[in-house]
Amino acid sequence: MNLSGIGRFLRNHAPGILMGMGTVGSVTAVIFSVKATKAAEQKVRNAKENLKSWAPEDPREVELDWREQFRLCWKDYIPTAGMTVFSLMCFWAAHGIDVKRQAVIAGLYSTAEATLAEYQKKVVETIGQKEADNIKASISEDHIRDAQLPALPATSTDIWCVIDGKSFPSTYNKIKQAQNEFDQAMLSDMYKSRAELYWLLDPSGEYLRPNGEDFEVGWNVDKLLYLRVPNPTGPVLEVFYEDKDGQRYPPMPSFAI
């Protein structure tokens, strides 16, 4: 690996490297502190014995006030203090880099969402809302067919639904009920994640299984979520995220909300 590659590796992994250095520094500071404490205790004992030698017949215990103890021992704790400061600087630097990266990611995410919304709006203007919905429904049917999902029981009133490219059995009424429960919970909790929406849409957890990312994105109370189903009576229900004004409202990273 050349110098350019090493520099790129260090930049890409800077937060992790700094956190590791800070952790090592913290452990080292503890070790230094233990050693310094032993040395300080010995110095205090020696000082007491020295003072006691001036009046050996006095049975009272010789005590040193905090000022005298500090004068005797402060130099022993210099390595501990230095390593503690070093560790804190590593942690602060790692946090600063992470915050900047999160800001960049949030900006890119917002730009991508705005571009997609503009494209979809132009598609609707060009071919009409009905044709756009028909295309989306056809794509949903293709996804379900390619997934080779089993047929639902004949006695079931559910049909296959699609959200975020994931298929699950439900009905239009159940989807709207989940939406209402989600918004009511968001009014009290101020923020809800996509994982929590999945739990409401698929209580069994058999089809909509949240991953780590689903816990990190969601919606806040500034806008209530509206789940739009363009064709409630179609063979497949495609579910889209919107706000109460009908604008696209996809989940956002929690740190960007």
Rounded Cα–Cα distance for residues 257 and 205 (Å): 27
pTM for the whole thing? 0.58
Tell me what the mean pLDDT of segment 195-212 comes to.
91
Q: Are 168 and 207 in contact (CB under 8 A)?
A: yes
- What average pLDDT does the structure give for the chain? 83
Rounded Cα–Cα distance for residues 53 and 76 (Å): 25
pLDDT the model gives residue 44: 84
Residue 185, C-beta contacts closer than 8 angstroms, at least 6 positions apart? 192, 196
Tell me what the mean pLDDT of segment 64-90 comes to.
88
The letter for the amino acid at 94 is A
Pairing label, strands 191-193, 225-228: unpaired
Rounded Cα–Cα distance for residues 220 and 257 (Å): 7
pLDDT the model gives residue 106: 72
Classified as helix, coil or strand, 169 is strand
Rounded Cα–Cα distance for residues 162 and 240 (Å): 9
Domain ranges (residues) in the chain: 3-98, 128-256
Tell me what the mean pLDDT of segment 28-47 comes to.
89
pLDDT the model gives residue 174: 95
The angle subtended at Cα 125 by Cα 124 and Cα 127, nearest 5°, is: 65
Tell me what the mean pLDDT of segment 77-86 comes to.
92
pLDDT tens, 86-120? 999 999 998 888 878 777 777 777 777 778 778 77
pLDDT the model gives residue 134: 80
pLDDT at 130 over 90: no
* β strands within 120-172, DSSP E: 159-163, 166-170
Length of the chain: 257
pLDDT the model gives residue 168: 92
* Buried b / exposed e along 143-168 (16+ C-beta atoms within 10 A): bbeeeeeeeeeeeeeebbbbbeebbb
Burial of 141 (0-12, 13-18, 19+ CB in 10 A): middle
Tell me what the mean pLDDT of segment 40-47 comes to.
86
pLDDT tens, 133-173? 788 778 777 877 776 778 888 788 899 998 988 889 999 99
pLDDT at 253 over 60: yes
Considering Cα of 192, then 226, then 134, then 111, what sign does the dihedral take? negative
Give percent of the chain above pLDDT 90. Answer: 25
Q: How confident is the model at residue 2 (pLDDT cuts 50, 70, 90)?
A: low
